[in-house]
Amino acid sequence: FEKIERLFVSSINLSTTAIIDMVKALCDVSSVELRHPLPEDRSRNICRHPFDSHYRIYSLQKLVEVADFNMEKRPRFVWNSIWDVLTEHFAVAGCHENIRVSMYAVDSLRQL
């Protein structure tokens, strides 16, 4: 787990092309996570409700972290390229059918 975390923290050392590719890839993975809810726990008879979160948001969280790590470290033109990728993804996530997911996306943008 620690090695995986180090990957995101060390993203500040990536080249311009590599960081943009990383952000695009994280957006792709996050999109898949947000399109496919986790299976229901039938043994507990859990129903889906707009306030219940049955979606993985791991990649969405990592996007926020990578953006935060790189915001001050990158030249403005690089950050603008990263931001262009992020805004499209967060616009979709912010309109997600699940209220917890959409609120998380909006709150994350406020943090940035």
The one-character DSSP state at 52 is S
pLDDT digits (tens, 9 = 90+) for 43-98: 344 444 444 557 889 999 999 999 999 999 999 999 999 999 999 999 999 999 99
Q: Tokens in use for 14? A: 């990536």
pLDDT at 105: 95
Number of Cβ within 10 Å of residue 56's Cβ equals 17
- Contact of 57 with 107, CB cutoff 8 Å: no
